[in-house]
Structure 1
Amino acid sequence: MFSEKDKLLIKQRGSETKTVLAQIENFKKGFPFLQIEEAASVDNGIIKLSNETLQKRMALYDDKVSKGIKPLKFVPASGAASRMFKALFEASEACDSNPEKEVLKTNEAAAQYIANLDKFAFADDLKASITNAGADESVKNKIDFLLNDSGLGYGNKPKGLLKFHSYKSGARTPFEEHLVEGARYACDKNRKVKIHFTVSPEHQQGFETLFALVKDKYEKELDVEFEVSFSEQKPSTDTIAVDLLNEPFRNEDGSILFRPGGHGALIENLNDLNADVIFIKNIDNVVPDHLKLTTIDYKKALAGVLLKYQEKLFMYQKELNEKHHVALESAFLAEAANFLESTLNTKPAVNQYYTEKEELYHYLREKLNRPLRVCGMVRNEGEPGGGPFWARNADGTVSLQVVESSQIDPDSVQQQNIVKHATHFNPVDLVCGVKNYRHEKYDLTKYTDPATGFISKKSKDGKELKAQELPGLWNGAMSNWNTLFVEVPIKTFNPVKTVNDLLRDQHL
């Protein structure tokens, strides 16, 4: 299937031929659906914090920071903004052959954008761009000068570099909002704030330029020192594309086509970082300063939950790793098994009771020596997104998982009925503990489930192809972590999926 030239290309990308062959097998066999057992709820798998407990967990986190733990914030920021402007691209094209009034009648989103233009944080920049070009303020120009490189170029920029919010001192991008937010909960005892952004290679310079412009201003305002770093998805995590017969798809020059492996590839970037507590949040989920307090409180509380249960987890790890099973009391093993099942939400396989002491010891060592994540979950209010479920794993165990709708069999009445009863969804609000009791970092690539990717149809050069995405970062890429779910308020979830989302009260 592969020539020597192909194998050299694969090697140069940092991958291996056997990995690429396994990807081709995935195309042939497909990915199995995940078997969900029931939806997680506040009565079954989701922790609901009382106000008193919220304050205690926040205080625990602050205390640990004052004693030297190192936090870090991780922000996936490579997403292009082009999808935010789908309706505007369509309206611009329609204006070429139709009266502008007719276009706005049929394109409700474009009409809303035009009617509220003065409310957007980028409004002054847009007007200046049109004026400087000597153009009129037609509907088409109000769209084109926003999207195209002849104006603000927002249609070709990443979300992180767009102006989202207005302040008296000027407008802020999501990148800046993450700096300000991070200073409030990801700051160590020396007032250093570490934030890592994953970006597309073509946009890294834009992020670096903006950071250089605003660094001194925010450090002075917030009394902190920022340590901001960037990384790109690694070429080694790209996946091969195939034609409809599952043969390698080749470019016009005969070379194999590889495509980015989706945000699941970012487990490699996360694995390169070293911190005691890592916060994860999407680039577009930010709010202005007057609404940040709830987010900050719950971020600290989630970290406090992680640290509270991590203490006990470390105690069990130490005993299991440093003592032979013969030296451990049966009562201790029973206690550890109860902690794994009742607190860390991992239930043994059906009919597997580990009656043999040695067997139970090895099972507990395996399951308790894993990274820990605490995931905020929001009550369903019609927002899209994956959700928290109890799911059956490949080894027969049942545990809490963040599950995307694409992972659930759409033709199974029983499985879809479970989905209908889901009470919460995943807002991508995670706090991660990536070290063991000896403060040694786990190799996070060893705790993924490679059987949870998915396949989609695309096209290139006029030819159809099949593409493959790796398991999502908080789905399959973390499916073999120990997991806790905590309910967080809906007001902590304010994503911007379309430009008109910036007209919501939370962003004005």
Structure 2
Amino acid sequence: MQRAEDRCTDTRERNQRDMTMTLQRIFSDQDKAQIEERGLSVEQAMEQIRIFREGAAPLKLNRPCTLQDGIFVVGEEEGGELVRLHEEEAGAGRMLKFVPASGAASRMFKDWYRILDAGGLQDEDSRTKFLRDLKKYAFFEDLKSVLAKAGRNLDDLLEKGDVCPILSTVLAADGLSYGQLPKALLKFHLSPEGSRTAIEEHLVEAALYVKDAQGRCRVHFTVSAEHEGAIQEFLRRIDEIYEKRWNASFDLSLSIQHAHTDTIAVDLEKAPFRDLDGFLVFRPGGHGALLENLNALDGDIVFIKNIDNVVPDSLKPSTVLYKQILGGYLIRLQRRIFSYAARLTEGGLTEDELSEIIAFCRRDLCLSFPPAFNGASLSERCRQVFQRLNRPLRVCGVVRNVGEPGGGPFWVEDETGALSLQIVEEIQVDSNSESQRSLWRAATHFNPVDLVCGVRDYLSRKFDLRQFVNPRAISIARKTEKGRELYALELPGLWNGAMADWNTVLIEVPLETFNPVKTVEDLLRPQHQEK
């Protein structure tokens, strides 16, 4: 008689075969050609639809990371030593700045589009505030100039309280075109020389903490295909100006998100979503797709920071200081890791020598080992410790949680019960579990996307970063496409599941180092107004 577990296995395999056959039937020859044109295989598209139908598995939170329980604090004396380490290795040319910059500016102006659609601001107080604040924006003089060329006087419009022509000029393609530009090319701040775009602020930052002894600053921007040409041309125009101003030589490069990292969309019945012409719809796989771009770089120590998280010059000293502290912290850890990894490969370690390395792993890297680890042989424990050390390293700055939307640092439990430090987004948490939601709400710190990464091993060989991804850490989101609802699949986020198997260290940094611009009104915050 067949055993129950064998029958269960047979049923699962039969269901899997049935689903595969069903999925194969839903793709026409035209679909298959479209899939392959994007650099995807039909099997990959089928697997994505299977994930939609089976659902994304949530992470299991164990507890939030807190000070002295996953999050380290750097004191003033220690900080000085870390800055020295950073400057030493920056001078040697090990640093690179990686800036995800594909965000469109249109999302920043949702409220302004709403005002335009409504025919202006009907509330007198709101209109007065808008007109008063307009002069505080770094693009005010550009707006004035564009209106003048069109034969209109901005001061007259302000005096009349005529909001719509002003907004239209800011947003429309025949004005400043801010509704069509990427965030990278928007004027964010005033500076001693005039006004600066977000991308210019990143060049200034690079000159302050990634410049080598020869003055070279390596900066890489990931951009959307539609904006690549405009950004390339803008950088070409300003490159020489900033090189002279900051006594630097900028080595600038761009890449776009690869089409093969896009994911297929499905309708609310979990069938492939099609446009009005019957073609399959693919959507960008989220910032996790940028792992391919990061992996393709010839990097060593890589600083990652979003395009909209920049500050004017008056706040740069604190930002630069903590970038150097994070860089120095990574370098100090790397030196120990590389030394231990080399020693482990030589072999012949004693119990005392291995105990020292294990203590470092637990104390400095917050690593845990499986329950059977202590009972294993010396050689097996050496193998496991080497395997845990020989992987990419990231040092992440985290700030106190003040209610900003986004992810945070948690101890996460895998299927074996082992714990690891992870940056978790709310969409990855089990929304049906009150205990998991309670842990999420208890987070004391927030992820500002302020990290430095070591992407080479102890022999200076590049890691293949694709080998350290948690492929199950995907998320499913409900979106709209031209008014029709669909489900979209996002790949493991760049600083979430895409780095799940990296060694992760968390350092508390001041809130003043985190100043994102998600709406145009954020530019009115004191942090974005030059003193």
**Which TM-score tier does this pair reach, normalised by the shorter chain?**
over 0.9
User: Which residue of structure 2 lines up, in the alignment, with residue 214 of structure 1?
Assistant: 238
Distance 1:342 1:393 in 2: 20
Q: What letter is aligned with 2:163?
A: V
Q: What letter is aligned with 1:116?
A: D
Residue 66 of structure 2 corresponds to residue 49 of structure 1: no
**Helix, strand or coil at the partner of 1:38:** strand
Residue 286 of structure 2 corresponds to residue 266 of structure 1: no
TM-score normalised by L of structure 2: 0.90
- The correspondence for 1:148, drawn from 162, 172, 192, is 172
Distance 2:50 2:274 in 1: 18
Per mean C-alpha deviation after superposition, the further-off stretch among 173-182 and 496-505 is 496-505
Structure 1, residues 13-49: CA drift from partner, whole Å, max 9, x if none? 2222322222111101111111111111122111101
**Helix, strand or coil at the partner of 1:377:** strand
Q: Is the 8 A contact 1:126 1:146 kept in 2?
A: yes
Distance 1:442 1:473 in 2: 16
Per mean C-alpha deviation after superposition, the further-off stretch among 268-277 and 407-416 is 407-416
Residue 459 of structure 2 corresponds to residue 471 of structure 1: no
User: Which residue of structure 2 lines up, in the alignment, with residue 490 of structure 1?
Assistant: 511
Count how many residue pairs are aligned between Structure 1 and Structure 2: 497
User: Which residue of structure 1 lines up, in the alignment, with residue 142 of structure 2?
Assistant: 125
Percent identical residues: 45
User: Which residue of structure 2 lines up, in the alignment, with residue 372 of structure 1?
Assistant: 393
Unaligned segments of structure 1, at least 5 residues: none
Residue 110 of structure 2 corresponds to residue 86 of structure 1: yes
- The correspondence for 2:453, drawn from 432, 435, 455, is 432
Q: How has the CA–CA distance of structure 1 residues 7 and 317 changed in structure 2, closer, same or farther, with 3 Å as cutoff?
A: farther
Per mean C-alpha deviation after superposition, the further-off stretch among 380-389 and 353-362 is 353-362
User: Which residue of structure 2 lines up, in the alignment, with residue 448 of structure 1?
Assistant: 469
Q: How has the CA–CA distance of structure 1 residues 350 and 35 changed in structure 2, closer, same or farther, with 3 Å as cutoff?
A: farther
Q: Is the 8 A contact 2:89 2:95 kept in 1?
A: no
Distance 1:417 1:244 in 2: 29
User: Which residue of structure 2 lines up, in the alignment, with residue 356 of structure 1?
Assistant: 377
- The correspondence for 1:227, drawn from 235, 251, 261, is 251
- The correspondence for 1:402, drawn from 423, 429, 432, is 423
Runs of 4+ off more than 4 Å: none
Q: Is the 8 A contact 1:449 1:480 kept in 2?
A: yes
Q: Is the 8 A contact 1:112 1:500 kept in 2?
A: no
Q: Is the 8 A contact 1:69 1:276 kept in 2?
A: no
Cα offset, 1:461, TM superposition: 5.1
Q: Is the 8 A contact 2:102 2:182 kept in 1?
A: yes
Q: What letter is aligned with 1:171?
A: S
Cα offset, 1:342, TM superposition: 2.1
**Helix, strand or coil at the partner of 2:308:** coil
User: Which residue of structure 1 lines up, in the alignment, with residue 62 of structure 2?
Assistant: 37
Distance 1:156 1:208 in 2: 16
TM-score normalised by L of structure 1: 0.93
Distance 1:198 1:7 in 2: 29
Q: How has the CA–CA distance of structure 1 residues 208 and 360 changed in structure 2, closer, same or farther, with 3 Å as cutoff?
A: same
Cα offset, 1:210, TM superposition: 1.4
User: Which residue of structure 1 lines up, in the alignment, with residue 17 of structure 2?
Assistant: none
User: Which residue of structure 1 lines up, in the alignment, with residue 11 of structure 2?
Assistant: none
Distance 1:373 1:166 in 2: 33
- The correspondence for 2:47, drawn from 22, 35, 49, is 22
Q: How has the CA–CA distance of structure 1 residues 461 and 410 changed in structure 2, closer, same or farther, with 3 Å as cutoff?
A: closer
Q: What letter is aligned with 2:259?
A: P
Unaligned segments of structure 2, at least 5 residues: 1-23
Distance 1:291 1:16 in 2: 48
Q: What letter is aligned with 1:401?
A: Q
Distance 2:474 2:47 in 1: 12
User: Which residue of structure 2 lines up, in the alignment, with residue 388 of structure 1?
Assistant: 409
Distance 1:338 1:461 in 2: 56
Cα offset, 1:4, TM superposition: 4.0
Distance 1:407 1:374 in 2: 22
Q: How has the CA–CA distance of structure 1 residues 111 and 418 changed in structure 2, closer, same or farther, with 3 Å as cutoff?
A: farther
Q: How has the CA–CA distance of structure 1 residues 101 and 343 changed in structure 2, closer, same or farther, with 3 Å as cutoff?
A: closer
Distance 1:271 1:112 in 2: 47
- The correspondence for 1:313, drawn from 337, 340, 353, is 337
Q: CA RMSD in A?
A: 1.8
Per mean C-alpha deviation after superposition, the further-off stretch among 121-130 and 263-272 is 121-130
User: Which residue of structure 2 lines up, in the alignment, with residue 10 of structure 1?
Assistant: 35
Cα offset, 1:334, TM superposition: 2.7
**Helix, strand or coil at the partner of 1:154:** coil
Cα offset, 1:52, TM superposition: 0.6
**Helix, strand or coil at the partner of 2:118:** helix
Q: Is the 8 A contact 1:346 1:397 kept in 2?
A: no
Per mean C-alpha deviation after superposition, the further-off stretch among 493-502 and 238-247 is 238-247
Distance 1:439 1:352 in 2: 29
Distance 1:423 1:49 in 2: 17
User: Which residue of structure 2 lines up, in the alignment, with residue 197 of structure 1?
Assistant: 221
Structure 1, residues 201-258: CA drift from partner, whole Å, max 9, x if none? 1111111121122111110111110011000000110001112222222234433221
User: Which residue of structure 2 lines up, in the alignment, with residue 102 of structure 1?
Assistant: 122
Q: What letter is aligned with 1:420?
A: R
User: Which residue of structure 1 lines up, in the alignment, with residue 322 of structure 2?
Assistant: 298
Q: How has the CA–CA distance of structure 1 residues 322 and 247 changed in structure 2, closer, same or farther, with 3 Å as cutoff?
A: farther
Cα offset, 1:471, TM superposition: 1.1
Residue 294 of structure 2 corresponds to residue 277 of structure 1: no
- The correspondence for 2:133, drawn from 90, 103, 116, is 116
- The correspondence for 1:336, drawn from 352, 357, 379, is 357
Q: How has the CA–CA distance of structure 1 residues 123 and 462 changed in structure 2, closer, same or farther, with 3 Å as cutoff?
A: closer
Distance 1:292 1:258 in 2: 40
Structure 1, residues 70-104: CA drift from partner, whole Å, max 9, x if none? 21000000001111111111000001xxxx45256
User: Which residue of structure 1 lines up, in the alignment, with residue 526 of structure 2?
Assistant: 505
Cα offset, 1:402, TM superposition: 0.7
Q: Is the 8 A contact 1:78 1:200 kept in 2?
A: yes
Q: Is the 8 A contact 1:183 1:193 kept in 2?
A: yes
Distance 1:308 1:261 in 2: 34
Q: Is the 8 A contact 2:93 2:211 kept in 1?
A: no
